[in-house]
Amino acid sequence: MRTRGELVEFLGDDPAANAPDYAPAWLILVVDDDPDVHRSSELALRGTRILERPLDFLHAYTAAEALGLLADHPHVAVILLDVVMETDDAGLGLVRTVRQELGMAEVRIILRTGQPGYAPEIETICNYDINDYKTKNELTRVKLLTAVIAAVRSFDQLCRLEASRRGLKKIVSACNDLISVQGLHAFCEGVLVQLAALVGIQPSGLVCARHDGDDVRLGAEVVAAAGRCVIYQDLLFDDIDDLVVAGSLRRAFDTGARQLGPRHMSLSFRGRQGQAFAVYLESETALRPVDDQLLDVFCSNIAICCENVELLAELREHAFTDRLLRLPNRVTFIERIEAMHHRQALAGKAVALIDIDEFAEANDMFGHAYGDRLLQAIAARLVDALGDRCVVARVAGDVFGVLGDETLVRPQVLMPLFEAPFAPAGTEHRVSASMGLVRLTGYGGTGADLLKDASIAIKRGKAGGQGQAMYFTEAIAQESRQRTRLLADLRHAFQARELYMAFQPQIDLATHRIVGVEALMRWPTADTMISPEIFIPVAEQSGLIVDLGEWALHQALRLLESLRNEGWPLLRVAVNVSLVQFRHPGFLAAVDRALREHEAPAQALELEITESVAMMGSSAIERSLHELKSRQIAVAIDDFGTGYSSLSYLDRLPVDRLKIDKAFIRPLASPQPDTRLVEMVIALSHKLGLQVVAEGVETEAQAALLRQFGCDEAQGYLWGKPMTADELRRVLAADQARNGPNPTEVPP
């Protein structure tokens, strides 16, 4: 087997010797068992340049020799192939091996034969992917040259198409890789790697970034670097001391056009956030030509990738970071817990949820901007105290999460952080916090389970008042499961219409008449009567109270409608309204709907709210109270004395009655009662224009004292326990028989 260079003395200098190293010669493989054919073929093609590139020759005398050469030289452009060599079909067998086994689809095959009788049929030429066929006696120098030139041009076009296909494939792959990176630095590093792969060299270069409109010498910064240029990483543009690098980048920035040199190139593209980028890539050897369209496509796709990376970065920030407080959010907090769980690093750690007490009230009273600044002040204090040693996150609107060592995540450390007032708007604001804590040693639940258990501990602690800290225990878990079962049972009972309304008479102390009733919800079971003090808080926490409250309102007005139609012009029916109901956006519409459905006069309805609702002082609460007042619906403050015990808020709110809690009435039955508080409340209420109703009156002595103090109305066991509608009818009949017919008009 003889290869190229064999005839160098005869041919003279190799024409490819002085060709640029990025324009190698076209390889022509001559396969023939006749040495004269080799010499004549090379002589005929000597000195020929096709597409500005010379020809170089490989020589094989058998099919086996040809396969060996093709294995070492996979970029052969043309094969001049004899049909008959060591066997009659050796040439055809070689074609089959080249196409099917070696997978060389681009190489052009010109079949030659000196024996016309061995010429292959047209079907054979098609099946074997032969590109041309000539008999040797007709293959003059001109015809051979013409055939080779056509074959080389065809080979070049096929190679360019394949290179474009591979290049586009690399660009698609690069885009898929780049869009998944996190952060601008990682993205720019990826651009260097992908561009180097497209050009076919090792990555060596840098990526510079600047904001549009900035002078490149002032604003550009090296974001990523590789190879020799790694020394420029994170430097400003002016600190690049290589004039070739700096000049190429500057021209790319200024013109937006590619800068191509023998051993380097620079490209530019733009990001979405007003940033411009320039990529400098260099090679130790001359860069091979790269299709301009591929580079255009690369730059266009990289620019899109840059936009997507920036967008994904924003989405990640939205997904994993609380933008207001710049803290990890609930998702990230749970992931941190899960990561520690997988590393088996939970021993000795604890989690605390910190719920800011009455934050919603502060938000309503002072506005959302104030609430945001308050949260920022709280977050800053937590981070300052714990940030280096604990994970501090915002896991809900006014709930913070802390993950860290048990020695830090404990009430003795966390509670004192809320002793000093905050000053979100320049004025001091004292804040209390309720905390639920979970020790993680031996904890087997997920991160979501952990937050749920901490939330349960918060609720359990709040049952004893605000500003409490409670560790989650198995006893609390059991209580929570019981509450869950209770809620499920309550939902079922409500849907099955097992609940009913009871009614307790309210008495005018001066006339001894029944002037109204209070509607009270009852839940009977097979075994017992479940107290409202047990199931109402469960309904409030679950939101079921909204449906229960609307049902109770309809039941009360239905009774009122029925009694009025029966000739019992009951003057007033009182219905309790929880804070959850009062805050519900459809509350007023529900009240209006119930009044219309039962054709009840608005002045015959009284809604009882607790002190906590009245004390909120928010504009929304005040607007709702004024809306009720405009409808002539009366409002009463229920259980007065059990909460803030202050009359100051009553001066500005449109309320009609104040109900003194039974805890203040009970002492009036003692032999030497202390009456000062009751007398004071009644007197001050009257000065504010409010009527007073005493709850829990059980004896005539209590009633007599209340009359003496000028109390307007009362209710209690003295006149009747809460009763069914039929029992109420009998009580009303007795009252009418005793005191005569009731008034027929409802007083204003």
DSSP letter for each residue of 159-173? HHHHHHHHHHHHHHH
> Hey, is 101 helix, strand or coil?
helix
Handedness of CA 28, 31, 32, 33 (dihedral sign): positive
Of the pLDDT bands very low, low, confident and very high (cuts 50, 70, 90), residue 590 is: very high
For residue 445, what pLDDT is reported? 84
- For residue 319, is pLDDT > 80? no
Domain 8-162 adopts which CATH fold?
Rossmann fold (3.40.50)
Which stretch of 142-151, 169-178, 256-265, 423-432 has the lowest confidence by average pLDDT?
169-178
For residue 195, what pLDDT is reported? 81
Q: Are 25 and 5 in contact (CB under 8 A)?
A: no
- For residue 640, is pLDDT > 70? yes
Average pLDDT, the chain: 84
Distance CA 500, CA 590 (A): 20
Q: Under 8 Å CB-to-CB from 564, ≥6 apart: which residues? A: 570, 600
546-552 CB contacts, 8 Å cutoff, 24+ apart: 546/580, 546/581, 546/584, 547/494, 548/494, 548/499, 548/521, 549/575, 549/576, 549/577, 549/578, 549/581, 550/590, 550/594, 551/494, 551/499, 552/501, 552/519, 552/521, 552/576
For residue 157, what pLDDT is reported? 79
For residue 328, what pLDDT is reported? 92
Of the pLDDT bands very low, low, confident and very high (cuts 50, 70, 90), residue 84 is: confident
Which stretch of 234-238, 544-548, 713-717 has the lowest confidence by average pLDDT?
234-238
Distance CA 224, CA 185 (A): 6
Distance CA 732, CA 317 (A): 67
The residue with greater pLDDT, 508 or 135, is 508
Q: Are 76 and 107 in contact (CB under 8 A)?
A: yes
Of the pLDDT bands very low, low, confident and very high (cuts 50, 70, 90), residue 7 is: very low
Q: Are 243 and 261 in contact (CB under 8 A)?
A: no
pLDDT single digits (tens) 485-504: 999 999 999 999 999 999 99
Of the pLDDT bands very low, low, confident and very high (cuts 50, 70, 90), residue 380 is: very high
Domain 180-319 adopts which CATH fold?
Beta-Lactamase (3.30.450)
Of the pLDDT bands very low, low, confident and very high (cuts 50, 70, 90), residue 176 is: low
Question: Structure tokens of 688?
Answer: 């504010």
For residue 188, what pLDDT is reported? 78
Q: Are 133 and 111 in contact (CB under 8 A)?
A: yes
428 beta partners? none
For residue 15, what pLDDT is reported? 34
Of the pLDDT bands very low, low, confident and very high (cuts 50, 70, 90), residue 187 is: confident
Q: Are 501 and 552 in contact (CB under 8 A)?
A: yes
Distance CA 160, CA 436 (A): 68
- Which contiguous run of DSSP H or E holds residue 494? helix 474-495
Q: How many CB atoms lie within 10 A of CB 89?
A: 16
Strands (E), 87-204: 108-113, 132-135
φ/ψ of 135, rounded to 5, equals -90, 145
Pinpoint the residues of the chain covered by CATH 3.30.70.270.
Answer: 324-472
- For residue 67, is pLDDT > 60? yes
The residue with greater pLDDT, 443 or 499, is 499
For residue 573, what pLDDT is reported? 95
- For residue 356, is pLDDT > 90? yes
Q: How many CB atoms lie within 10 A of CB 243?
A: 8
Name, of 361-375, 533-547, 612-626, 642-656, the range with top average pLDDT. Answer: 533-547
- Helix and strand totals (H; E) in the chain: 26, 27
Look at residues 93, 646, 606 and name the one whose alpha carbon lies nearest to residue 81. 93
For the chain, give the number of residues.
748
Which stretch of 21-25, 85-89, 449-453, 556-560 has the lowest confidence by average pLDDT?
21-25
User: What's the mean pLDDT in 149-161?
Assistant: 84
pLDDT single digits (tens) 384-423: 999 789 999 999 989 999 999 999 999 999 999 999 999 8
523 beta partners? 530
> Hey, is 507 helix, strand or coil?
strand
Look at residues 135, 450, 462, 181 and name the one whose alpha carbon lies nearest to residue 302. 181
- Our CA dihedral for 168, 169, 174, 179, rounded to 10 degrees, sits at 90
Look at residues 113, 68, 71 and name the one whose alpha carbon lies nearest to residue 92. 113
Distance CA 624, CA 582 (A): 8
Cβ-in-10-Å burial (0-12, 13-18, 19+) of 542 comes to middle
- For residue 21, is pLDDT > 50? no
Give Cα 184 distance to the centre of its chain: 21
Q: How far is CA 648 from CA 611, 615, 641, in A?
A: 12, 10, 13
Q: Under 8 Å CB-to-CB from 18, ≥6 apart: which residues? A: none
The residue with greater pLDDT, 159 or 1, is 159
Q: Which amino acid is at 537?
A: P
φ/ψ of 513, rounded to 5, equals -85, 155
- For residue 427, is pLDDT > 50? yes
Look at residues 35, 147, 144, 46 and name the one whose alpha carbon lies nearest to residue 85. 35
Distance CA 41, CA 145 (A): 9
132 beta partners? 110
SS3 percent helix, strand, coil of the chain, rounded to 5, is: 50, 20, 30
Look at residues 699, 142, 240 and name the one whose alpha carbon lies nearest to residue 248. 240
Q: How far is CA 139 from CA 34, 57, 134, 136, 205, in A?
A: 15, 18, 7, 5, 52
CATH 3.30.70.270 corresponds to the domain 324-472: yes
Q: Are 252 and 259 in contact (CB under 8 A)?
A: yes
Of the pLDDT bands very low, low, confident and very high (cuts 50, 70, 90), residue 16 is: very low
Q: Which amino acid is at 378?
A: I
Pairing of strands 53-60, 26-31: parallel
Q: Are 14 and 57 in contact (CB under 8 A)?
A: no
Which stretch of 333-337, 407-411, 543-547, 619-623 has the lowest confidence by average pLDDT?
619-623
Ordered alpha helix ranges (H), 224-291: 243-255
For residue 574, what pLDDT is reported? 96
634 beta partners? 606
Distance CA 61, CA 372 (A): 87
Cβ-in-10-Å burial (0-12, 13-18, 19+) of 333 comes to buried
pLDDT single digits (tens) 474-483: 888 888 888 8
> In this prediction, what percent of the chain has a pLDDT beyond 70?
85
Name, of 19-23, 479-483, 610-614, 726-730, the range with top average pLDDT. Answer: 726-730
Distance CA 132, CA 109 (A): 7
CATH 3.20.20.450 corresponds to the domain 487-739: yes
Which stretch of 122-136, 168-182, 196-210 has the lowest confidence by average pLDDT?
168-182
For residue 181, what pLDDT is reported? 54
- Which contiguous run of DSSP H or E holds residue 276? strand 275-282
Q: How far is CA 178 from CA 153, 223, 230, 348, 466, in A?
A: 36, 15, 20, 40, 51
The residue with greater pLDDT, 298 or 531, is 531
- Tokens 């561009």: give the residue: 195
Pinpoint the residues of the chain covered by CATH 3.40.50.2300.
Answer: 8-162
- Tokens 């309550």: give the residue: 490
- Which contiguous run of DSSP H or E holds residue 154? helix 141-179
- For residue 718, is pLDDT > 90? yes
Give Cα 464 distance to the centre of its chain: 35
φ/ψ of 464, rounded to 5, equals -95, 5
608 beta partners? 576, 636
For residue 697, what pLDDT is reported? 96
Distance CA 392, CA 395 (A): 9
